[in-house]
Structure 1
């Protein structure tokens, strides 16, 4: 975004998923290598999108004040994370903890950013009606080098099955499948046909 972006345009940009007035750090240094792995995938995933999330830690001192409530709005930014395929079921990327630039964006003090975590969205071909398989690892586990593995019913691939309700059968489009770390929470018939997505990271060698 332009440095002289108007406040109104910045707010509209944020509403559309942009970063508004916030700027990227031109020289980030705190790099982490990210690995996404698929296990027993029921089919190919043509759309795999990563994201790194950052949140301001002192919005009360620096955030834009909502004129209706008098409170500071939460300032967050989700920056794209490129995931490169290195094997049939493995993708690599790089996340910078210091990707955002600490600066006074609203004339009320310097906004201090903190990395909150990273996640991914996967779809079979990318078609709207297909299931969105989602995963997200928070910053503490990310920087500690933990591996987050979430399990998903294979039957939701490539799209969730229609459900029958009081008004008849309803088609489910763009279903957000968030999975579960514990595979035993699924009923036995689903437990026998699960696949998983793992996210892990380690500090990059300088």
Structure 2
């Protein structure tokens, strides 16, 4: 699915979840999501931090999953919106030398199942999200579904000044274009890429 569509879906879901109980009229039963007993789609995610002014306190990664076929999910009462189930799973990262981190995940980690009596819901990866933590500042980057499965790397750039302002509580998503900074030479980058691995 196109990454722009995934972002729109995520934004719509977030807006709905922010609505009070009275606006939705009722709540949906939360499905009992099970892990796939025999996952086969194993991927390795590689994170490279280049030219950072110093070390980070920690680097974390998570994989976001969402039911891809909305037809298996009933409409919510009153609002009439379809809010597909989502799940966020952490990735265990290992330091692979220098400024490189690696971790593994399964794209088919979750069990496809008929949760609502409307047909089998099929899970899909939405994105792999990474945050490099420095003080109260989180330097965030994501690689989305289409780029994951096409083995396309994604690089985002951040100002060195932001690294120095680490007592500011902020999720800093950077910029994909280094030339957009006032002084491009005073920036660092985080590059993400995923590659399928044979079992």
TM tier, smaller? 0.7 to 0.9
1:50 aligns with 2:93: no
Distance in 2, matches of 1:24 and 1:94, equals: 16
Paired residue for 2:148?
A: 142
- TM-fit CA distance, 1:192: 2.3
Instruction: Say whether the 8 Å CA contact 1:34–1:199 is kept in structure 2.
Output: yes
Distance in 1, matches of 2:75 and 2:43, equals: 34
Say how many residue pairs are matched. 174
The normalised TM-score by structure 2 is 0.78
Paired residue for 2:17?
A: none
Task: Spell out the pairing of 1:11-50 with structure 2 (5 A cutoff).
Answer: 11=30, 21-50=32-61
The normalised TM-score by structure 1 is 0.76
Any runs of at least 4 consecutive aligned residues in structure 1 with deviations exceeding 4 A, and if so which? 8-11
- TM-fit CA distance, 1:64: 4.6
Instruction: Say whether the 8 Å CA contact 1:10–1:21 is kept in structure 2.
Output: no
Task: Spell out the pairing of 1:68-147 with structure 2 (5 A cutoff).
Answer: 68-124=78-134, 127=135, 130-147=136-153
> Which residues of structure 1 form unaligned runs of 5+?
1-7, 12-19, 162-171
Distance in 2, matches of 1:47 and 1:106, equals: 40
State the Cα deviation string for residues 157-202 of structure 1 (Å, max 9, x = none).
15457xxxxxxxxxx42x11111121001113xx221010011121
Distance in 2, matches of 1:106 and 1:75, equals: 11
Distance in 2, matches of 1:10 and 1:47, equals: 36
Paired residue for 2:196?
A: 203
Distance in 2, matches of 1:159 and 1:78, equals: 29
Instruction: Say whether the 8 Å CA contact 1:131–1:158 is kept in structure 2.
Output: no
Return the index of the structure with the highest Cα Rg: 1
Matched position secondary structure for 2:176 = coil
